[in-house]
Structures are given as structure tokens and as C-alpha cells.
């Protein structure tokens, strides 16, 4: 089997994870109409936080793609696009967790705080952007927090499961070095 370069590996991985998010966002925005439900389940937080762990700021690709598909599927106006795109980028503030390294996430329950902080960063970000469109900050924040509560609980479950799998919830540079040292 031919070896691929690191850049190719990263590109393929980002394309797969971004593609999964786009497909799930398309399906989950249509699904409520199938069941006459008002609940919206999204894998945005799950996949964004996983990609952020794997590729750091390269997660911006996944975040933007998932957000644009969400807004398009929900027929959002320009204001919605701005609120969601800029607000969702606040999840990149979770990069601060990596200052001390990523190894702490493998053995520790700090991943709980990683997920919750990502959720809070996004909701605060969206509310701050909405504030520029004259939306009241606190009521908007409470609305966003309530709307995504089910999604963050799902994200906690997914991340706790995924981090148990070797290499899935791990910085890919560290993972590839570890794997090459074993060989």
C-alpha cells in the first residue's frame, strides 16, 4: 500500500468528518418534518469538538461547512447566517484547553468541561452577535442554551464514547508519531 503524505491524510480526514457533518445537518433539518416534531438534533458540537481535538484550528473548515448547511437548510436570512457563522466560530476558544497539552483528555474527566465550555462559547458567541442586531442578550442566550441542551447532552455521550477508541479523540500528529514508533 502506498504511503500518503501528512497533508493528504489531514485533507482526507477533514473531508470525511466535514462531509459527515454536512450530511447529518441536512438530514436532521429535514427529519423533524417527517415526525411532526419541533426538536432538532445536531452533531455540530460533537463533530466540531472532535475535529478541534484532532486538527486544532483546521476545525474551522468543519465548523463553517456545518453552519452554512444548517442556515441554508433552515432558510435563514443574512442575519441568521451572520449570527450562526460568527457565533459558532467562538467554539475555537476551546483551543485554550490545549495550552497544557491534549494528553489530559485521554485519562481524565476534564473532557466534560471541554464539551461544556465549547457549548457555552458558541451560545455566548451567537448571543453577542445577535446583540448587534438589537436582540436582547440574556433572553437570546437563554433561548440558545435551551435549544441546544439536548445536543450538548448527546455530544457528551458521543465524546465519552469516542475518546475510548484509540486515535479518534486525539491530536493526529501525536497519534501518528505514536503509531510510527510502535512499528
3-state DSSP of 47-110: HHHHHHHHHHHHHHHHHHHHHHHHHHHCCCCHHHHHHHHHHHHHHHHHHHHHHHCCCHHHHCCC
**pLDDT tens, 66-120?**
999 999 998 889 999 999 999 999 999 999 999 988 888 877 789 999 999 999 9
CB 18 within 8 A of CB 58: no
Average the pLDDT over 141-148 and give the result. Answer: 95
Q: Can you give the pLDDT at residue 121?
A: 98
The pTM for the full model equals: 0.93
Average the pLDDT over 9-24 and give the result. Answer: 97
pLDDT band at 37 (very low <50, low <70, confident <90, very high): low
**How much of the chain exceeds pLDDT 70, in percent?**
94
Average the pLDDT over 18-26 and give the result. Answer: 96
Listed residue (141, 89, 97, 137) closest to 115, CA to CA:
97
Average the pLDDT over 26-47 and give the result. Answer: 79
What CATH number matches the domain at 6-182, 1.10.1760, 3.30.479, 1.10.3470, 1.10.287? 1.10.1760
Amino acid at each position: 500500500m502506498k504511503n500518503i503524505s501528512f497533508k493528504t491524510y489531514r485533507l482526507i480526514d477533514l473531508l470525511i468528518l466535514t462531509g459527515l457533518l454536512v450530511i447529518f445537518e441536512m438530514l436532521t433539518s429535514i427529519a423533524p418534518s417527517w415526525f411532526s416534531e419541533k426538536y432538532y438534533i445536531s452533531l455540530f458540537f460533537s463533530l466540531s469538538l472532535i475535529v478541534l481535538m484532532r486538527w486544532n484550528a483546521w476545525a474551522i473548515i468543519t465548523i463553517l461547512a456545518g453552519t452554512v448547511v444548517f442556515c441554508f437548510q433552515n432558510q435563514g436570512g443574512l442575519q441568521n447566517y451572520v449570527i450562526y457563522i460568527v457565533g459558532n466560530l467562538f467554539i475555537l476558544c476551546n483551543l485554550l484547553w490545549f495550552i497544557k497539552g491534549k494528553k489530559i483528555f485521554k485519562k481524565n474527566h476534564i473532557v466534560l468541561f471541554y464539551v461544556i465550555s465549547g457549548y457555552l462559547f458558541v451560545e455566548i458567541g451567537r448571543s453577542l452577535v445577535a446583540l448587534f442586531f438589537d436582540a436582547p442578550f440574556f433572553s437570546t442566550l437563554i433561548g440558545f442554551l435551551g435549544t441546544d441542551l439536548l445536543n450538548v447532552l448527546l455530544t457528551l455521550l458521543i465524546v465519552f464514547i469516542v475518546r475510548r477508541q484509540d486515535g479518534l479523540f486525539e491530536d493526529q500528529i501525536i497519534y501518528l508519531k505514536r503509531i510510527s514508533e510502535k512499528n
